Structure formats: structure tokens, C-alpha cells
Structure 1
């Protein structure tokens, strides 16, 4: 059975970290369901595994959110957030997609998460002070502890959780997020070195300098200088992620072929070597300074039923980005959609995604952004529900979706 996302999909994300306390109240759950139906939302993404590795449902493999050491989610003890959301949303006709934050397994803030009990799983960085260096997808204050995507136990763990969710819940799809490396500085473990050298068929004489070196700018910031093997390294990292995506997709489809299978990524494709991901189609051959001749082989878009790309910019039109001195046209919702469509190359639907906080205090710009997503892509994804609540914007969706 083929899975298909209808044109004009209106997707709303429910991030557990932002909404879990409020949605512990069943009345708030009902309000969310009613508001979503009235606003024309077609799909809701519900966190099943959060960015710090905890599950929102009782898992045989992951740690439940109620195990958080500071007790912040004690009200969810012996409860199942995913099932409660399915139960309240299904009667409305809104489709439910379960989100899995894949290679994120701990938080540095409270030192919670399975990554602290399985330290051998953790990503090893180029050097230790690079662990939380800012990149396009995460900022310097991000507390997520990532695990190595090629570690055999890590892969088994993540696939086991995906299997649990797919098997045990009445869903309409599975979404993967953080299915990537943390940033350009990881993983530089001995396992990664061995497997990369096997991939290229020779030793890397100067490790890790022949991958890249760090040059200090005048302002004290560090800049990556690509080394001899950086192109093949980027290709290899992206293939590692693609191979996991293929396994996850085959698992989901073998269990429930009717489920949608999707991924969220950032739209900033020219910088995505940071995350070690090639979310383009195999048919797309990027002309970028870091891309190897065979980089296109690592593209995974063709494995998906659709993709959500984060067009996370306050500027909506390309002209606005240019006027505001942005470094490229894709630093705008319109430009981000253009680059997403170019990379996916017509192989699957693209759903442009908005970060609602970008439009705080400017509801007209929010309206423009929604219109742009709907006009140029397969629909719109709104991140996150909490901002519709905080800004009282539910009513804005009635006429715009």
C-alpha cells in the first residue's frame, strides 16, 4: 500500500518539552484537539521521543520522561502522553504522526539520559571544547548529548524504539528528527576513524587534520578549513545517516506499510555538512565547495514519503533578505523553499516549515509566511503549538490555512 500526503497539508508540531506540562491536563488536550480541527489542521506531530532521549510513552528500551532527575515531569508518571494524544485527536479526524528524536540521548544541563549510562555511545568531538560549538541547526546553549550513529548498540536501540511505536500505536505516520550528527566536530571516535579508513581504502595519515583544521579568526571565533579528505568524510557521514534512514523506513513499512514516513531537517542545505546529512534526492548533484563527486549517492529524500524543511527566517520574501543584508537568498522563507525544492528535485513532496517565534509581535508577517509556504510547497508545518497558545493565534489559522 502506498502512503501519500495530500496537497495542502496543514501540519502542527506538539513539542513535549514546550507543551508537556500544560497538556498533562485532559481539558487542555481537548482544547488542543478542538482548536486544531477548527483551524483546519490536517496532521499533528506528537513527540514520542524527545531531544534528550526520554520517551513520552512507557518503553522497554528508553527512559520515560517521568524519570527526569529534577521531577519536572512527575505528573506523567505511569501515564502515556503519546496514547493520550492519539485518543483525543483521532475522533477529530486529524492524523497523528509520532516524532522520534533519534540520535539525541541526554542533556548536559541535568545529566539525565541513557547517554550517561552508556558513555561509550556518546559522540566524541574533534576536541572537547567543540561539543557545543554553534552551528546552523543548534546554538551554543544547546544541551543535547548526541550518540554515534554508527555504533551498533546505538542503531539497535533507536530501531527498537521505532519498532515499539510503530507496533503499539494507532498512528498515521512516523517522523524522524535529530537523525544526524550534532555538528561538524563529531564523531571523531576510533570507531569512526576505522570505518572511514575502510571506506576510503587507506589510512588517514594525519588524523584529524586531514579531515579539517581549525583556524582562529580575528574576533577569536574558529573557522573550519577543509582538509584533504573532507569531501569524502562528508560523503561518508551522510551515507551513515542514509543507511540508518533506509533501515528505519524498511522497518516501519514492513510492520505497517500504510504509514507515512517523514523527516524534519533544516533547509540550509549548503551548510548541512555540519550535521552530516544529505537530505536531497540522489538525482541532485550539488555544486558546493565541500561536496565530493559522489556526494549525491548519500541523498536520502527518495526514501521518504515527504520531507519537512525548516524555513526558519523572519524574512518571508527573497527581497526582504537582501534588504536586511542576509548573506544569501535562502535566508528567507521563499528562498529556503526554493533551495528545498531544488535539492529534492521533484522526487517527493516538500512541506515548508515555520518557526512561529520568528513572527512574535508581527501577525501580518506570520500570515505572509503561511501564504508563501502554501503557495510554493506541499503545505505548511507550524512549529510549535506553544506559540499559537502564547500569541493567541489560533484564530489566525482559520482563514489562512
Structure 2
């Protein structure tokens, strides 16, 4: 795979500015000038609304936030595709998968279908922060193994690949919200089937919570495996939808690079050939790895520290709390099976353009390119001219 320079266009952050077609054109021009190769355009946002008119989902103009009402009758995805047409830029449609509501506004599909919603370990813990998830984030998740949820998400992916002239699909939030969800009766029953025994102490055999921290129980490793297997099963079905439509379509995913903590998300984004030695991983955990399902993977190396040396001198708990360390870990876990594209969160470099440029350079040297999240920061920080790809 050649080096890819990928730019994410998040609808919630950019939708108001990009109401003007001239601003869309300007974005395409900036991207081309900066040697961006792929644009990721939101098709379905974290609250479950779609940026295109969907047969299944609510449109973004139906959100309570009035700034998005101006999108009524418009198709953000199609407009972006048309503006990029003939430019050579590849367009990848982003689909936020198991995120189906806004908990502050109490809106989204999850409020029509409360039975889909993730059941938390203890409902008072539903807003517990985990290592990678901002607990102020209002996103409400649905249970990945609810059969109606699965059918619904696959229908939306099918709708996108059947309707739009895109180059690929990226999955995001294709995971559990955190370690506290899902503890529904459905998940309990499916887990008992998975391990072939009835649970005597539910959910204590999986984990207990002390002083707002999870303490792993004897069955936690099998539980981590079960959750990761559920996500892999969905990924395989989503891949089939995309590739059946057109085997040349790119099928990719975004994940956080913090693999040792990814039991929180219930995901094993590594290769099946990678055997982790982590206290929470079962002996057969590697069978849940899904890297081989994708054409490439984008891992979030979301740290202000670029080098491992910087992470150490700043007192970070481990060397992988740096862009360099995160790339090394990503490559180790993927084990050479698919290309890895290191991804940066531009807000980590606010008021520090030199650190940003250093991070971009390192991503390009050490991985198969760079993914920049998000366009809005290039605009706000006036960094287009600083992009040296």
C-alpha cells in the first residue's frame, strides 16, 4: 500500500461551516494542495443520525440542535462526493455503528427502541469514565448482539454502498461503550451459551466495582473474549455487505491504539496471529482478532508526546502513551497482516504547530501514512499551510 494521507470530515464539527457549497469546494482545494489522498466523510454520526436521507434512520436536520436544521432536504454525503468528483481524492463514508442516541437531548433511535440500549453493570455507573472515553460524551450505545440492532446497522451500510459512488466505508464506534456495558439478560444468556455453563454469581464472576474501579472476577478473561468475538462477528457481516456490492471498495476501521486497555471497548483489533500476554486475556483471546477482515486499520495515536522519550520525561505510565510508542504497539499487534495508518487528534497540538508537524512526520515515517482528525482544527488553527505531506 502506498502512503495514504487521510483527512476526516466530522459532520458535527464541520456541518455548519460546510453549509455553503463554496466552503466545500474550498475544502477539496485545500485537501488537494496539501496532498491529502482520502477524505473520510460522515454518513452516520455518533448519535445515530445520518447525513443523507435514509430509509431507516433519522436525518441530521431532525436533531434538536437548531444549527443543523439548515440541512433539511440536503444530502451532505452526496454533496461532498460531487464536489470531490474528478479530483482524484478518494471518498470514504464513515458509519458510526453502535452509537444511537444523544443522552443530553434524549434523542436518537435508542429512544424509539429502548430495548436496544446497552444495560450497564449498575445503572448509576453508566457515566463512569474509562481510560479512553470522555465521560461527558452524551453518546448512548446499543447492544451489539441484539438481533434488531445488527440488522439495522447492516441495512444502513447496505443503503450507503448501494446508493453512493464512494471508494469505501470506515466503521467507527464499532464497539461497546466501556467496560460497564452490556450486562443485559440477553448478553448473560448468550455468554452462558458461549461458555457452556450457567452463571452462579452474575455479574460478580465477571467483575465487581470497588471505589469506582472494576475488579476482574474469575470469568473476566472469557467475558473479554466473548465481547470481542461479538464485535468480530458483526465486522465479518459488515464486510460481506460492502464487498458483495463491490470487492474493490475499501473496508477499514478506526480504533484507539491503547491495546492493553481495550477490554474497555470489548474489541480485539489485532491479528489472529498476535498472542497477547495480558492478565485479562484468555488463552484463546487471539481467535477474536479482526485485523485480517480489513484492508487497512487506523489507530488513534492520540498523545501530545511524539517520542517515547517525551512520554518518559513527562511521567507517562508507559512508553506507548506517545505517538511513537503507539505506532510501535499498533504494528506489533497487527503483526504485518494489514497496513497500519497512525492517526492524530489535532487538538492535542493546540498552539504547538512544531509538535504537530513532528507528529505528522513520525506517522509517515513509521506507518503507512497519517490520518488527521479533524478538519475543523486545520481551519481553526489556520494550519493548512503548515501541512507538509
TM-score range, shorter chain: over 0.9
Query: What residue in structure 1 maps to residue 28 of structure 2?
Result: 33
- Equivalent residue for 1:117? 112
Structure 1 spans left out of the alignment, 5+ residues: 1-5, 217-221
Deviation at 1:70, TM superposition (A): 3.6
Question: Partner residue of 1:219?
Answer: none
1:20 is aligned to 2:10 = no
| SS at 1:274 equivalent | coil
Q: CA deviation at 1:241?
A: 0.1
Q: Show structure 2 runs of 5+ residues with no match.
A: none
How far apart are the structure 2 equivalents of 1:310 and 1:351? 9
Asked if residue 341 in structure 1 is aligned to residue 331 in structure 2, the reply is yes
* Pairing 1:373–2:345 present: no
Give me the whole-angstrom Cα distance separating, in 2, the residues matched to 1:389 and 1:71.
Answer: 22
Equivalent residue for 1:175, pick from 170, 178, 193? 170
* Cα distance in 2 between the residues matched to 1:157 and 1:65: 17
Kept in 2, the 8 Å contact 1:132–1:139? The answer is: no
Corresponding residue for residue 222 of structure 2: 232
What residue is the counterpart of 2:60 in the other structure?
65
- Paired position in structure 1 for 2:160: 165
Aligned to 2:309: 319
| C-alpha distance after superposition, 1:76-135 (max 9, x if no partner) | 001000000000112221100000000000001111100001000000000012212111
For the residue of structure 1 that corresponds to 2:263, the secondary structure is: helix
- Moved >3 Å (runs of 4+): none
> Could you say which residue in structure 1 is the equivalent of 2:258?
268
Say if 2:141 is the partner of 1:151. Answer: no
Structure 2 equivalent of residue 3 of structure 1:
none
Determine the C-alpha separation between the residues in 2 that align with 1:90 and 1:322. Answer: 46
| Partner-residue secondary structure (3-state), 1:366 | helix
**Whole-angstrom distance in 2 between the partners of 1:79 and 1:243:** 34
Determine if contact 1:11/1:41 at 8 Å carries over to the other structure.
yes
Match of 1:251 in 2: 241
Q: Distance in 2 between matches of 1:126 and 1:22?
A: 40
Pairs within 5 Å for 1:181-200: 181-200=176-195
Between the aligned partners of 2:79 and 2:88, the Cα distance in structure 1 is 15
1:354 counterpart = 2:354: no
SS in 2 for 1:307: strand
CA–CA distance in structure 1, aligned partners of residues 65 and 354 of structure 2:
40
- What is the aligned counterpart of 2:319 among 296, 310, 329? 329
1:208 matched to 2:203? The reply is: yes
| Aligned position for 1:11 | 6
Work out whether 1:279 is the aligned partner of 2:279: no
Paired residues of 1:133 and 1:139 also in contact (CA < 8 A): no
Structure 2 residue aligned with 1:382: 372
**Alignment match of 1:77 (pick from 45, 51, 72):** 72
Classify the secondary structure of the residue corresponding to 2:67: coil
Whether the 8 Å CA contact 1:312–1:333 is kept in 2: the answer is: yes
Taking the aligned partners of 1:387 and 1:131, their CA distance within structure 2 comes to 30
CA distance in 2, matches of 1:311, 1:361: 19
Identify which of 263, 288, 298 aligns with 2:288: 298
Correspondence 1:140 to 2:135: yes
2:385 to 355, 373, 395: 395
Q: Cα deviations across residues 42-71 of structure 1 (Å, max 9, x unaligned)? A: 000000000000000000001100111243
> What is the Cα deviation at residue 223 of structure 1?
1.5
